[in-house]
Amino acid sequence: MTVEKQTELPLKAQEDVVSARQLVRSWAVELGLNLVDQTKIITAASELARNAVIYGGGGLVRLEILLDTGKRGMRLTFEDRGPGILDIERAMSDGYTTGNGLGLGLGGAKRLSHEFFIESKPGAGTRISIVRWKS
């Protein structure tokens, strides 16, 4: 797998969530994702960036354009150094929330992605990567 292009953005405040969403939209258009795929990755990115700010105390997102045996896609990696997730399986289930949301964030982001990876250690933070491939 080759990374054709990459950048990182800080996620410290709600304004950074908006900036991340706008950059993901721009890259999704540049990549040639159709409107449905654009909407899916933008929605997932928005939720994961928001989680990093609200629950992780801030962090960063890395955007990458990938080339893998003739197919192209976008990988987004969200990292924070927050309290971590004690029970990932429970956090992935719909309806579970530690805040005031609907509890659809992590599971929803997974459903909106072709690939989803989560790693979290209590007291050390969380890293989530998602990939959306061009159809």
Q: Record the pTM.
A: 0.92
* pLDDT per position as a tens digit, 13-65: 999 999 999 999 999 999 999 999 999 999 999 999 999 999 999 999 999 99
What DSSP assignment string belongs to 37-98? HHHHHHHHHHHHHHHHHHTTSSEEEEEEEEEETTEEEEEEEEEE-SS--S-HHHHHSTT--S
- Give the position of tokens 């969530």: 17
Q: Where are the domains of the chain?
A: 2-133
Task: Decide if 105 contacts 93 (C-beta within 8 A).
Answer: no
* pLDDT per position as a tens digit, 77-96: 999 999 998 888 888 876 65
Q: In CATH, which superfamily holds the domain spanning 2-133?
A: Histidine kinase-like ATPase, C-terminal domain (3.30.565.10)
Mean local confidence (pLDDT), 72-77: 98
